[in-house]
Amino acid sequence: MTPAVRIGKRSLLAILATSIIGIIAFSWPLFAAPDSAAVAHANDAPWLFALVVPLLLAVVLAQFTDGGMDAKAVALLGVLAAVVAAMRPLGGGAAGLEPIWVILVLGGRALGPGFGFSLGAVSLFASALMTGGVGPWLPFQMLGAAWVGMGAGLLPRASGKPELLMLAAYGAVAAFAFGLLLNLWFWPFTAGLPAAIAFEPGAPLGQNLLAWIHFTIVTSLGYDIPRAVLTVVLIMLAGPTILTALRRAARRANFGAVPTFEAAAS
């Protein structure tokens, strides 16, 4: 299956740069020296916004200049981001019941990893503006959602029921991975935790990784499991219809088509 929106050289560089910044932002406490000035991520939010937002914009612009995303694809990106932003309050605070992941997974699958990356980041940013959810957690949410959308576009070729089952399995894994990853932005700075789930500066990496997993099991599985179950159910029920609609829109839009001009007959 050829993606509707392809990744060119500029797009790939922009996505790699953004992802590297994101990996560093998530993981630096695990590798920081015990005597380093480790401060809460709330203090990092200004430079994370200053780095992440321009880089995410650069991803869209790079795809545009590469010919992988034309004006029609940008319009579709805006429409789907608006749908996600409108859907997100439906599950806000309700035990992890977030219906937005079905759009991110299926959008990335139908329209390609570059589009999925942009959709995840832009839609989470738009929904935060709509719901007043702007805070130090937002850059991490944007990056996590961007990786979920991109991962869906990188899945192997399949069609019919096998594709649907693959997307449902991916949605479940992505729902758990998102929760695990998002815990990492604040867990190292959470005070008063029991030793078994607390971050210990300077401890071996394996010890802290195990504590991170234990922290996730204790604190967030109650949100991650409902998120995964709802995502699987929605993909199995609505997946065929949404995929068909997105692929039909991609075919009709003929993304990336190069116009040709012919001399008028005399």
Q: For the chain, 266 residues long, give each residue's pLDDT as a single digit of tens.
A: 455 566 777 778 888 888 888 888 888 888 876 665 544 454 555 566 667 667 766 776 776 666 666 677 778 888 999 999 888 877 655 556 788 999 999 999 998 888 899 899 889 988 888 877 777 788 888 899 999 999 999 999 999 999 999 999 999 999 999 999 999 888 988 888 998 999 988 889 999 999 999 999 998 888 899 999 999 999 999 999 999 999 888 887 666 555 454 555 55
Contact in structure between 118 and 146 (CB atoms under 8 Å): yes
Burial environment of residue 63 by CB neighbours within 10 A (0 to 12, 13 to 18, 19 or more) = buried
Integer angstrom CA distances of residue 172 from 26, 93, 148, 211: 22, 19, 11, 23
Nearest-CA neighbor of 127 among 158, 156, 91, 163? 91
**How far is 123 from 153, CA to CA, in rounded Å?**
17
Tokens, residue 53: 């937002």
Q: According to the CATH classification, is domain 9-253 in 3.40.50? A: no
Q: What is the DSSP letter of 265?
A: P
Q: What is the DSSP letter of 198?
A: S
* pLDDT single digits (tens) 8-64: 777 788 888 888 888 888 888 888 766 655 444 545 555 666 676 677 667 767 766
**How far is 214 from 173, CA to CA, in rounded Å?**
17
**How far is 121 from 144, CA to CA, in rounded Å?**
8
Contact in structure between 133 and 145 (CB atoms under 8 Å): no
Integer angstrom CA distances of residue 112 from 73, 151, 157: 11, 9, 12
- Prediction pTM value: 0.84
**How far is 38 from 34, CA to CA, in rounded Å?**
8
Q: What is the dihedral of CA 245, 246, 252, 256, to 10 degrees?
A: 180
